[in-house]
Chain A
Amino acid sequence: MNDLVDRHTAGPPADGSPGDHTAVPRRRPVRGWIRRLGFGGTFGVTGLLALVLTCAYGRFGLEVPSTDLNAIAQAPSADHPIGTDFVGRDNLVLLIRGGWDMLELAFVAGTLMSAIAVAVGLLGAFAGGVVDRVLVTVTDVWLTVPRFILLLVIASLFRVGSTVALAVLIALFGWPYLARQIRSQALSLRSREYVESARLLQLRTVHIMVRYLVPAVAPFVVIATIQAMTSAIYQQVGLAFFGLVPLEDNWGVLFSVAYGQNALYLPAAAWSMLAPVAAICFLQFCLVLASRSLEEVFDPRLRGGR
């Protein structure tokens, strides 16, 4: 567990050696990370890890809950800790099983979105000239278009069949904001003194990018990916509400199906709607906290005090 926390937050090990056993034992790495991440960040990262483990167990260890027509839309009881849904399936099992699909979508869409954003942002910032101008124009135009509405329409005209396809669609619609952030980050990096001096030494551009810029941008990309994940989940919930996602029993689908069954107006049935809502909010909360505290860890200027 300690190892997990560490590896998850630390990114690539500084010394490049994956085997920690032979290395000099570090002093209380976990406590160090907790201090650096702060309370919120620790909460977020731990929460995410817990979610990943629980959802993996749900996806690979649990059977689909059976329908039970004698126990439809029940309030919590000893048999069903958070009640049952409109066909008598256990809400808790549905919830634990439904998380994996959410995480998969968030991961694929988030990674792809930030990959596009990094490519566009870095290329524009370092190529300059016409390339930059074209990329900036495209980004700005795509940023201002009401993309979610367009996404809804396209998803309704061409049914997406799988979670990965949905993630790709969401990524194509979601990258411009991040691209803009990454471009401005890269622009400020480009004029840093160590980059300037590398340039004065007449090192090749590729060398400068690989050796100096990519490591400097990497933490920012990690954070951008996490932010992209929250945005992907945000969009997925909206699409699920209109029934435009593949019918996996994920949280977005569970919530919108329960809403469609009017669970809202029956406090006993509302459990089947509120449980996925709470789960989505918790996931978003953890992602936001993790990204914000990683931002502070990687960028000391953001830390408290001036």
Chain B
Amino acid sequence: MPTNGAQTASPSARDRDQGASRRASGFGVVRQLAAFLVRAVLRTVLMLWLVASVTFLAIRALPGNPVDVWVQDMQGTGMTAAQAEKQATRLLNIDVNESLWSQYVSYLNNLLRGDLGQSVILSPGTPVSEMIGDRLGWTLFSVGFALIIGFFIGLYLGGIAAYRRGSWLDRVITNGSALMDSIPPVLLGILLTFYLSVVWDLVPVQNLRGAYSPDVQPGPNLDFVLSALAHVIAPGTVYILTSVGAWALIMRSSALSVLGDDYVKQGRARGLSERTIRVSYVQRNARLPLVTGFAISMGFVVSGSVLVEEIFVYPGVGQLLADALARRDYTVMQGVVIATTITVLIATAVADALYGWLDPRTRIEVSS
């Protein structure tokens, strides 16, 4: 059973798996749990290191990198080179005069301590981790809200398409899903704003702006909660519409392959009702591959949030990145990239754990 998790295992984790699968009972379960944890941690570390290194490379190490450019710009405004470098060192928490290698080491070191440096332009001196922390909640709220709803709609549509394979309904669902999957969320967001609030005048434009109305007091009161829910509808709808297609397509092909499996035929031969087969046989098994897809989809939706939050002026991490891109605040950019990666990594780890829990087969033969 080549699962996502098993494939990304490093050699050492793989050896552990094989040891575990030979003795898949008693202590084997504990060993497998340990192997799973080791694998998850290894992958997390590998990905974080990769992303951190790419951002370091782009911001600091490549010729013409923005820190050097910034130091030159500061000299243009009357600072001496030493002053400008000192300021860059302070904001980045990296000594820009050291060798690249030791800059890299101290950069990774800072990361491990959760230090992402300070904003250079957007709000100079504010720690980037603080700026992200302020906004991460909104992004997780809107994206999480949409992911869950989109997931269930997608499951439902994909299931229908698989059962009614070849019918016009199947065609509508699959082609519609493929289309929604390829329409950039930014276009949908703009069309939604344009038609709802400009052409048909159904929703005042300010209701499609921000995370809550400016006249409610943020805090645990009913007005604020209702206002936040009302404001999440617009970006949420865009996320749902753009993610539902992928779910539906994965679910359809997964359900189709399950429908062809022997145990479904056997269930039919035993005279089980079609309903029982659908609910207990097909649905349960067809959902499994989607759990792995969850992490991928999470990455897509979080990426899409940059554009959607910019359109709906939603105060999440995406909008922070958009601001940072517009003003060239690269410590903020770097921080957002790393924070987003961590978010996706946590989702991946959760999806992996869920997969093992949902599908006992992978617990017994992890090593494939």
A residues whose Cβ falls under 8 Å from a Cβ of B:
40, 133, 136-137, 140-141, 143-150, 152-154, 156-158, 177, 230-231, 233-234, 237-238, 241-242, 244, 255, 259, 264-265, 267, 270, 273-274, 277, 280-281, 284-285, 287-289, 291-292, 303-306
Contact = CB atoms under 8 A, between A and B. Distances in A.
B193 interface: yes
A148 B64 contact: no
Contact of A158 (B62, B165, B182): B62
A159 B200 CA distance: 39
Given A145-B341, A152-B306, 9 more contacts: A143-B296, A149-B336, A150-B55, A153-B55, A153-B321, A154-B58, A157-B65, A244-B325, A277-B191
A136 B304 CA distance: 25
Contact of A141 (B47, B187, B190, B304): B47
Given A144-B348, A287-B182, A292-B178, A149 B321 contact: yes
11 contacts: A137-B7, A144-B344, A144-B348, A146-B344, A156-B328, A157-B65, A157-B66, A231-B182, A242-B310, A242-B325, A242-B326
A302 to B, nearest CB: 9
Contacts of B181: 288
B187 A152 contact: no
Most buried by A among B165, B174, B328, B334: B165
A301 to B, nearest CB: 10
A264 B194 contact: yes
Contact of A156 (B165, B187, B325): B325
A288 B182 contact: yes
B191 A150 contact: no
Interface residues of B, number: 64
Contact of A145 (B51, B178, B187, B260): B51
B106 interface: no
B330 A144 contact: no
B183 A144 contact: no
Contacts of B310: 241-242
A158 B64 contact: yes
B155 interface: no
A175 to B, nearest CB: 14
Contact of A265 (B8, B198, B296, B328): B198
B337 A153 contact: yes
A244 B186 CA distance: 15
B22 to A, nearest CB: 20
Contacts of A145: 47, 50-51, 299, 341, 344
Nearest to A252: B184
A304 B166 CA distance: 4
Contacts of A280: 184, 187
B337 A150 contact: yes
A146 B51 CA distance: 9
The 9 closest A-B pairs by CB, nearest first: A304-B166, A148-B303, A237-B184, A230-B182, A284-B182, A288-B178, A136-B7, A146-B340, A140-B8
B187 A281 contact: yes
B307 interface: yes
B171 interface: yes
Nearest to A227: B182
A141 B50 contact: yes
Chain B contact residues: helix, strand, loop or mixed:
helix
B84 interface: no
A267 B11 CA distance: 60
B107 to A, nearest CB: 16
A270 B198 contact: yes
B211 interface: no
Nearest to B260: A306
A146 B198 contact: no
A292 B170 CA distance: 13
Contacts of B7: 133, 136-137, 140
B179 interface: yes
A255 B307 CA distance: 14
B74 interface: no
B122 interface: no
B199 interface: yes
Interface in B177-219: 178-179, 181-184, 186-187, 190-191, 193-194, 198-199, 205
Interface in B50-74: 50-51, 54-55, 58-59, 62, 64-66
A305 to B, nearest CB: 6
Contacts of A288: 175, 178-179, 181-182
B312 to A, nearest CB: 12
Contacts of A141: 8, 43, 46-47, 50
Contacts of A157: 58-59, 65-66, 330, 333
Contacts of A148: 300, 303-304, 306
A292 B174 contact: yes
Contacts of B166: 303-305
Given A145-B299, A281-B187, A304 B325 contact: no
A93 to B, nearest CB: 22
B295 interface: yes
Nearest to B249: A292
Given A141-B46, A149-B306, A237-B187, A156 B333 contact: yes
B190 A264 contact: yes
Contacts of B102: none
Contacts of B307: 238, 241
A285 B8 contact: no
Given A149-B340, A267-B198, A288-B175, A238 B186 contact: yes
